[in-house]
Amino acid sequence: MDIKQLEFFVTACDHGSLSRAAECMYTSQPNLSKTIRTLEHELGRPLLLRSAKGVQPTAYGKTVLEHARLILKNAAAISSLAVPDEQDSLRISSYPSNMISRLLVDFYLEWGKNYHIEYREGSAEEITDHVHQGISEIGIVYVAQKQVPTFRHILSHKRLEFVSQDVKKICVYAGPKNPLYGREWVDFSDLSQLKFLDGVRDFFSMEHHLNTVSMGVIDTRQLRHAAYTNSDHFIINLLMNTDICSLGLEFMHEPYAKYEIKPLAIQGCEPFLEIGYVRDPERNLSPQACWVTEHFQDML
């Protein structure tokens, strides 16, 4: 038994629906259902009554639910006490990003060697968990505008807030070996003909919402993904030396402009991705975290 199992079970009971619970916990319904069934197997008795109308706790499940709520409340209290010393550390989580990596190098060069840097990469779920648990002071994420209200609602349960810093379009990044390299823009109709890199994907990722951006012109399932990675080095090498391209935000941090990689605008694509950071509103940001958010804003 672990905390995640209890979180999934409590959320399913609160919403009366596995699909709504999965959306709230920004995971897939099969994963949430499997996790709860594993918990039921460990306890040896069913916790939920499942029907076409949704789910509700069994008599035994109601007893477990009461204890689960208490455990989660106490776990959150313990997490709040486990915040590392902020005076001499910078603790940050984000999606895999060359730009953030470079920003942390700049932090080291400006603030000297007396500060300990803790940097973690992950999905939206992992990033917000890091901030909620006090592992990271801030977590940098991008969220489709359509999902911002849902994202803020989810964060409110963890007493966190999302501070939006900018809104960006997406584009296609292509290298010199790509047949579209000589163009300045692509149509939505071109996307299904290209080979893409697939990176970190979760409920709030840009690829998940591409069908919203394209207003139904293309389904994300039509995109051909030739490689999966969260490695910036692999991404750069593939873009530089193959016909594979990548979706990304339509701006390029100056240190990476040295590569022969072009951002191709997507014709008719409106700004739709909000970029910002997750924080605990009840804690003042440390000077080093303020430095990161201010310089990240300058980059954007």
144: CATH? 3.40.190.10
Residues 157 and 280 in one domain: yes
> Which pTM value belongs to this model?
0.58
Cα end-to-end span (Å), the chain: 42
What is the residue-level pLDDT of the chain in tens, covering all 300 positions? Answer: 888 899 999 999 998 999 888 888 878 889 989 999 999 999 999 999 999 889 999 999 999 999 998 898 887 766 655 555 556 789 999 987 777 888 899 999 988 777 888 898 887 888 898 899 888 999 999 887 878 888 888 898 889 999 999 988 778 888 999 988 989 888 877 888 888 877 654 444 444 444 444 434 445 566 788 887 767 678 888 888 999 988 777 766 554 567 788 888 888 777 778 889 999 999 999 999 999 999 998 887
Range of the domain at 8: 3-81
Residues 15 and 144 in one domain: no
Residues 62 and 8 in one domain: yes
* Whether 145 contacts 212, CB under 8 Å: no
